[in-house]
Amino acid sequence: SPVFRRKNIENELFTFADETEPQLPLTSWYQPTRDEMLDTAVTGAPQLMKGNEERMMFLRFNYSKRRLSQLQRRVKSEDLTRELAQEFLEWHRRFEHFREYLVRTNLALVLAMAKRTRLGDVDFAEIVSEGNMALIRAVDKFDIGRGFKFSTYACRAILKAFSRTSMKHSKHRLRFPVEFEPDLEKSDWIDKKRDMVEEDCVDELKQIVDRNLAELTDVEQTVIRQRFNWNEKQESPLTLEEVGRIIGVTKERVRQIQNKALIKIRKLMEDGVLRVKTEQKPEGTQPTNHPVGTEEIKAA
């Protein structure tokens, strides 16, 4: 840039220490993938730069890059001294600092372009990732001396990156047209395991009531059976009011009876007395006993 040929340009750009090293903007507001999953506005407002501030930051960034390039050539042609190494590291630190500052400040451009450009065959997280990389490349290549705003240049670069990503996915789909490949899908083992554990817990609770290990009264057993749908003739659990009509009490009284019964079962488990078999064993083998977890009863 012709600006860098002026005398004392380094002093003009880096005179005040507090202005030379601006604090990096916070990026906690930038959560685009979370917004997409929750369908809510978690991402907040970014910190934007004014025209003069943007120009000064890019001048400092480009000058740091220029000085770093000059020092790289010196390192290759001269013997590396302590002073040269320290100077090289200092300008490299400044280069990285201003680069990160400019990227963080302009992250909102990526989010705006990603929301405006919906690519049906590309995951939103991948779109944002490509946009972030395009923004970094735009910061590296932008020339503030040409008089254009960075947002104009960066938005075009981000949109081009989205277009390339879409073309890449289209070519991949043409080459591999399979829509569903079981071996490459995410495993549902955890969900199946959770369902198995829940079924085991239900079976254990049924055995508790059937064998009356918690010494429940007849009314308490009736309430538990009806509330947890352990009656094969029922299609769904009964409400407190429906159970109350069966045993002739109010729904609040049914709630009290239910809670009292669950407390008895939980206390039995906490005392370590309960051991209930969870599955039927072949004849001639001993049943395996398992303690019922306290958390399952609390959840019930």
pLDDT, tens only, 28-66: 667 666 555 444 444 455 566 777 888 888 888 888 888
CA gap 138, 231 in Å, rounded: 67
The structure tokens listed for 39 are 């369908």
Residue type, 40: T
User: Residue for token digits 């200092």?
Assistant: 90
Q: How many CA atoms lie within 13 A of 284 on its CB side?
A: 0
Q: Binning pLDDT at 50, 70 and 90, where does residue 295 land?
A: very low
Q: Which domains does the chain have, with CATH numbers?
A: 2-175 (1.20.120), 189-299 (1.10.10.10)
**Given pLDDT bands bounded at 50, 70 and 90, which one contains residue 138?**
very high
Give the pLDDT band (50/70/90) at residue 1: low
Q: What band does 140 get if pLDDT is binned at 50, 70 and 90? A: very high
Whether residue 264 contacts residue 214, with contact meaning beta carbons closer than 8 Å, is answered with yes
Q: Which of 285, 162, 274 is closest to 214 using CA atoms?
A: 274
Which whole-number Å values give the CA distances from 226 to 46, 90, 183, 200, 265, in the listed order? 55, 74, 43, 19, 16
